[in-house]
Amino acid sequence: MASEQLADASQKVLKQITSLYESGLNAGGDGKAAAGGIGLLSIANHPALGLGKEIRKPRKKMSVMIIGNHSAGKSSFINWYIGERVCKTGVAIETRGFIFCTSGRRRETLTGDATVRYFDHLADFAAFEGLLPNLFTEVSTSLERSFACVDFVDSPGLVDGDMKYPFPVEDSICWLADHVDLILVFLDPIGQATCRRVLGLVERLNQGSHVEKIHYFMSKADEVESESDRQRVLIQITQNLATRIRNSHAFNLPTFYLPHDDDLPCTIPNAIEDVCKTIDKTIDQTVQKNLRQLRADCDRVISRISEVEVTDAANREANTARTLRGLGLSVATLGALAALATLLAIRAAGALCEPGAPGGACASDAAQRLLLRDAWVEPAFAPLVAAALAAALLLAAAAKVVWRHAPVLSKREQRRLEEFREVARAVARANEALYEAYFSTIASREER
Ligand X SMILES: Nc1nc2c(ncn2[C@@H]2O[C@H](COP(=O)(O)OP(=O)(O)OP(=O)(O)O)[C@@H](O)[C@H]2O)c(=O)[nH]1
Residues binding Mg ion (CB under 5 A): 74-75, 94-95
39 within 8 A of 29, measured Cβ to Cβ: no
Give the interface segment with ligand X, choosing from 42-50, 72-80, 166-174, 434-442 (CB under 6 A): 72-80
Residue 73 contacts ligand X per CB under 6 A: yes
Q: Which residues in 154-173 contact ligand X (CB under 6 A)?
A: 157
Binding window for ligand X (CB under 6 A); candidates: 92-100, 163-171, 240-248, 306-314: 92-100
76 contacts ligand X (rule: CB under 6 A): yes
If binding is defined by CB under 6 A, does position 94 make contact with ligand X? yes
Contacts to ligand X from residues 116-145, by CB under 6 A: none
Question: Distance between CA atoms of 212 and 437, rounded to whole angstroms?
Answer: 27
Per-position DSSP letters for 351-393, written without gaps between them: HHTSTT-GGGGGGSHHHHHHHHHHHHHGGGHHHHHHHHHHHHH
Edge-to-edge, what's the strand order for the sheet holding 108-110?
108-110, 135-140, 98-103, 150-154, 62-68, 182-187, 214-218
Q: Report d(CA 75, CA 109) in Å as an integer.
A: 16
- Give yes or no for residue 70 binding ligand X (CB under 6 A): yes
Q: Is 37 or 68 the residue whose CB approaches Mg ion more closely?
A: 68
Q: At closest approach, how far in Å is the CB of 80 from ligand X?
A: 8
- What is the DSSP annotation of 170-198? HHHHHHHHTT-SEEEEEE-TTTTTT-HHH
The binder of 223, among ligand X, Mg ion, none, by C-beta within 5 to 8 A per type, is: ligand X
One of 3, 11, 19, 95 touching ligand X (CB under 6 A):
95
Q: Is residue 39 a contact point for ligand X (CB under 6 A)?
A: no
Residue closer to ligand X by CB (options 71, 103) is 71
Q: If you ran DSSP here, which 8-state letter would residue 247 be given?
A: T
Please state, in angstroms and rounded to a whole number, the distance separating the CA atoms of residues 149 and 88. 22
Give CA 154 to chain center in angstroms. Answer: 25
In DSSP terms, 186 is beta-bridged to: 68, 217
Q: Which of 223, 229, 309, 413 binds ligand X (CB under 6 A)?
A: 223
59 near ligand X (CB under 6 A): no
**Partner interacting with residue 76 (select from Mg ion, ligand X, none; CB below 5-8 Å by kind):** ligand X
Nearest distance from residue 33's CB to ligand X, in Å?
Answer: 38
How many CB atoms neighbour CB 60 within 10 A? 16
Is the Cβ of residue 23 or residue 219 nearer to ligand X in the bound state?
219
From candidates 222, 297, 312, 374, binder to ligand X by CB under 6 A: 222
Choose the one of Mg ion, ligand X, none that binds residue 71, judging by a C-beta under 5 to 8 angstroms depending on kind. ligand X
Q: Specify the residue, 221 or 301, whose C-beta has the smaller distance to ligand X.
A: 221
Residues contacting residue 409 through CB under 8 Å, at least 6 positions apart: 48, 308, 312, 417
Which class for 440: exposed (0-12), middle (13-18), buried (19 or more C-beta within 10 A)? Answer: exposed
Question: From the CB of 86, what's the least distance to ligand X, in Å?
Answer: 12
Please tell me whether residue 91 binds ligand X under the rule CB under 6 A.
yes
Alpha-carbon distance 115 to 113, whole Å?
5
Q: Is 359 left (phi over 0), alpha (psi -120 to 50) or beta?
A: left
Neighbouring C-alpha atoms within 13 Å toward the C-beta of 422: 12
Query: Of 59, 54, 42, 61, whose CA–CA distance to 424 is shortest?
Result: 42
- Coil, strand, or helix at residue 415? helix
- Under rule CB under 6 A, residue 257 binds ligand X: yes
Q: Quick check: 72 binds ligand X (CB under 6 A)?
A: yes
Cβ proximity to ligand X: between 22 and 94 the closer is: 94
Q: Is 90 a residue that touches ligand X (CB under 6 A)?
A: yes
| Torsion sign (Cα): 149, 154, 155, 161 | positive
| Listed ranges 67-75, 243-251, 349-357, 419-427: which one lies at the site for ligand X (CB under 6 A) | 67-75
Out of 23, 89, 103, 140, point to the residue binding ligand X (CB under 6 A): 89
Q: State the angle between helix axes of 411-447 and 3-23 in degrees (0 to 180), rounded to the nearest 10.
A: 180
The residue of the chain with the least Cβ separation from ligand X equals: 157
CA–CA separation, 159 vs 92, rounded Å? 12
Nearer to Mg ion, 66 or 245 (CB): 66
Residue 264 interacts with ligand X (CB under 6 A)? no
**Alpha-carbon span 4 to 144, nearest angstrom:** 7
220 binds ligand X, rule: CB under 6 A:
yes
Query: Which amino acid is present at 294?
Result: L
Size of site (CB under 6 A) for ligand X: 20
Specify the stretch interacting with ligand X by CB under 6 A; choose among 65-73, 200-208, 289-297, 357-365: 65-73
- Partner in contact with 220, chosen from Mg ion, ligand X, none, beta carbon below 5 to 8 Å by kind: ligand X
Q: Which is nearer to Mg ion, 95 or 134 (CB)?
A: 95
| Chain residues that interact with ligand X, rule: CB under 6 A | 70-76, 89-91, 93-95, 157, 219-220, 222-223, 257-258
